[in-house]
Amino acid sequence: MDVFSPDDQVTTQTPYPIYRSSRRAHINDLPPDMDTLPKVFLKGVARWRDRIAMRKKRFGIWQEYTWQECYQHVHDFCLGLVSLGLQRGDKVAIIGENDPEFYWAEIAVHSAGGTTTAIFTDASPQELAYVVNNSESVFLLAHDQEQCDKALELRDQLPNVRKVIYWEERGLWNYNDPWLMSFAVVEKLGQDYAAKHPGAYEQLVAEGKGEDVAIFSYTSGTTSLPKGAMIRHENLLYANSNIEDVAPRYPSDNYVSFSPLAWITEQSLGLTAHLLYGFQVNFPEGPETVQNDIREIAPSTLLFPSRIWEGLARTMQVRLNDSTWINRALFALFLPVAYRIIDREDEGKPIPPHLRFLRLLGEYAVFKPLRDKIGMVHARDAITSGAALSPDVLRFFRAVGVELKSLYGSTEMQVVTMHYPGEVKLATVGVPAPGVEVKIAENNEIRVRSRAVFAGYYGDEKKTAESFDEDGFFKTGDAGYVDKDGHLIYLDRVSDMIELANGESFSPQYIEGRLKFSPYIQDVMAVGGFDMHFVTAIININFESVARWAEKNRIAFTTFVDLSQKPEVYALIKKEVERVNETLPEAARVKKFVILHKTFDADEAELTRTRKLRRRALEQKYGQMLDAMYGDRDEVRVSAEVKYRDGRTGTVETAVRVCTV
């Protein structure tokens, strides 16, 4: 088993059992010529010089870049920044979509000894200003006109920013502000600098050390302002090397870079892994084309946040519902067979020959064509991280032939636990990765120690000190426990656990995850507590799915607000709630719910940029609805902004119903 007791090899004096993988970490110490990302990059250039390193789809055509071409862009951009005054230890902020230029810019800044901070593309101007100023960035890389306009609007609030550098020139040709500069112009400055200072780039790279801070990765900010977690080069390299033997990556692999680079998992398993293992990174043309682009690439590795996987599961179910009757019949025939097989696998039971034969028929009749539609025919590693994913979603993907694996980690820790090949358990987030130690402390808090754990919070020594215990374990603030097989069961944030009327603790995320498996539910916030006597829920409908259902059932509606409050829609959602309630303990069942007249919105501070619920803000904002559900009222009046098909907007008064289950 992948568990050991305190007597097995523990040198610490901790009173709690420590769990670690039975597999050793792949490396103990980083060699001096491989201890930073730029050094690893130069090794890759020497090894794979003329191989394709990246592809970017532009105007419908995949443009390819070899390792040598990437080197030239990184070399020139690095020296261009140096000629503009970038010094070792300086910070550079980057906001934009995933593109080759984003990768090149990060490696270039690291080559000069600088630190990069990636910012979510949909960040508001206020959020952008906060991160740029908190990180003390001296340059800002902005993808396009939209991001440059944000920066120009904030110019007086960004006193440290010397230049705003953009790489998408469309729409910016007539901007004559000297504060703005194009990526290509900086590269030209770098070429001129290199002519006067031969060998300067290689010298800068050689001066880097593994303990240098590579990136600031800002936390989600679910309970307070985001904090800049300082991630060293060695943290990123150790995190990837630890899982090399468990989830190997190969130069022949294809990877789609779609998840935001402001997310630590994309920085670690995307950019860092690309430099280490040399696989080809593919950048979709844009968010609206990503599904078709993924199908064209058919990648071997897919890394998405849990909400993307939830959306994919809903999309697949909707497409099946809209398919021909024979496809629906075949799916209804073979899906239960697949479920029976994975349930037996989960329980460690043998698979009878007749079930194997039926699953093989289903593979060719239904499942393989379905995987082809979503670009997963060659997917070897399908990974979910960022937030707990419902076992229902994991079970669904495994049933259709996608071995979706959960990772548990955070901005501060990177990968902590993972599902090893052939050891996927639906209710868990896997076992500790090699080189990682896990212990469960008081209040079921998960604590972690490894060489991948961050260096601390930038500018906040007090918070950093509070985040570690006396044995050097990082206090995650997450609740969980380890089962008899050494698998970690993630529950929720310790602060978000609900104490039920019977005195038991329960996870609202578990309830929410089960409900979101419904194709008709987009988002949920479960609320409860000892003094509230029962659990309630505020539910967002999935407008596309519910609108299709309404049209099929000839239910007329005008707007999102109108559709959400239809009695027929409440009856539909009530069935979904009742379905989930059957799987929950009596005290944890949802007794009342409302369907919100709008969706939760990150721009209204209801969600983080990684789409996690800001529970405290939501409870305060929708306090009237909670009061209505815990009182005797059957509705609550709200004002709602609506947008009509002709582009007009207006405000309507509507009654949000309270439904008793």
- Residue 299, pLDDT > 60, answer yes
Question: What pLDDT is recorded for position 594?
Answer: 95
Give the least confident one: 466-470, 488-492, 529-533: 529-533
* Residue 65 CA from chain centroid, whole number: 26
- 278 and 358 assigned to the same domain: no
Distance between CA atoms of 154 and 271, rounded to whole angstroms? 29
- pTM of the shown model: 0.84
State the pLDDT at residue 642.
Answer: 58
Looking up residue 525, the CATH number of its domain turns out to be 3.30.300.30
For residues 422-460, one letter each, b for 16 or more C-beta atoms within 10 angstroms of the residue's C-beta and e for the rest, the string is ebbbbebbbbbbbbbbbbbbeebbbbbbbbbbbbbbbee
- Residue 393 in any domain: the answer is yes
Mean pLDDT of 411-438: 88
Same domain, 94 and 170: yes
The reported pLDDT for the residue numbered 187 is 98
Which pLDDT score is estimated for 530? Answer: 62
Q: Which residue has the higher pLDDT, 456 or 403?
A: 456
Residue 490 and residue 522 in one domain = no
- List pLDDT tens digits, range 341-394: 988 887 778 899 999 999 999 999 889 988 888 888 888 888 888 777 878 888
Q: Which residue has the higher pLDDT, 191 or 511?
A: 191
Domain count, the chain: 3
Same domain, 532 and 410: no
What is the band of 640 on the pLDDT scale with cuts at 50, 70, 90?
low
- Of 449, 441, 358, 453, the closest CA to residue 414 belongs to 453
C-beta separation of 285 from 97 below 8 A: no
Give the Cα separation of 653 and 661 in Å (integer): 26
Whether residues 61 and 197 fall in one domain: yes
Give residue-wise pLDDT tens across range 620-638. Answer: 888 889 999 988 888 888 8
Residue 646: is its pLDDT beyond 80? no
Residue 9 is predicted with a pLDDT of: 36
pLDDT band at 221 (very low <50, low <70, confident <90, very high): low
In Å, what is the CA distance from 65 to each residue of 53, 68, 251?
A: 6, 8, 15
pLDDT value of residue 4: 30
Within a domain: residue 17? no
Q: Is the pLDDT of residue 441 over 60?
A: yes
Q: What's the start-to-end Cα distance of the chain, in Å?
A: 43
What pLDDT does residue 647 have?
60
Domain at 134, CATH number: 3.40.50.12780
Whether 80 maps to a domain, the answer reads: yes
Provide the pLDDT confidence category of residue 57 given band limits of 50, 70 and 90. Answer: very high
Give the per-residue pLDDT at 202: 96
Residue 51 lies in a domain: yes
Residue 365 domain boundaries: 304-377+379-451+476-494
Q: How confident is the model at residue 14 (pLDDT cuts 50, 70, 90)?
A: low
Q: What percent of the chain shows pLDDT beyond 90?
A: 51
Average pLDDT score over residue span 641-655: 66
Please check whether residue 235 lies inside any domain of the structure.
no
In this structure, are residues 367 and 334 in contact, taking their beta carbons and an 8 Å threshold?
Answer: yes
pLDDT over 50 at 661, yes or no:
yes
Asked if residue 142 and residue 165 are part of one domain, the reply reads yes
Short-list 143, 86, 131, CA closest to 112:
86
- pLDDT surpassing 50 at residue 652: yes
| Residue 170, pLDDT above cutoff 70 | yes
Domain-embedded: residue 459 = no
Task: Indicate if 438 and 510 belong to the same structural domain.
Answer: no
Asked which of 51-60, 74-83, 335-344, 639-648 is least confident by mean pLDDT, the reply is 639-648
**H/E run at residue 418:** strand 414-418
Rounded-to-integer distance, Cα 75 and Cα 528, Å: 55
Predicted pLDDT of residue 241: 83
Per-residue confidence band for 16, with pLDDT thresholds at 50, 70 and 90:
confident
Residues 349, 487 within the same domain: yes
Q: Determine the Cα–Cα distance for residues 478 and 2; give it in Å rounded to an integer.
A: 21
Quick one: 413 and 529 in the same domain?
no
Residue 648: pLDDT band (50, 70, 90) is: low
Which of 578, 417, 443, 429 is CA-nearest to residue 497? 443
Q: Which of 390-394, 569-573, 641-645 has the highest mean pLDDT?
A: 569-573
Q: Which of 427, 461, 494 is the last residue of a domain?
A: 494
**Shared domain check, 324 and 279:** no
DSSP 380: S
* Residue 222: pLDDT over 60: no
From residue 15, alpha-carbon distances to 5, 261, 467 in Å are 11, 38, 19
Question: Same domain, yes or no, for 40 and 61?
Answer: yes
Query: Do 273 and 311 have their domain in common?
Result: no
Kindly indicate the confidence band of residue 12, based on its pLDDT and cuts at 50, 70 and 90. very low
Residue 466 lies in a domain: no
Q: Which of 461, 494, 527 is the last residue of a domain?
A: 494
* Structural domain contains residue 529: yes
Tokens of 446: 């998960």
What average pLDDT does this structure show over 123-142? Answer: 94
State which of 429, 461, 494 marks the end of a domain: 494
pLDDT at position 506 over 70? yes
pLDDT of residue 141: 97
The mean pLDDT value of the chain amounts to 88
**Mean pLDDT to the nearest integer, 134-141:** 97
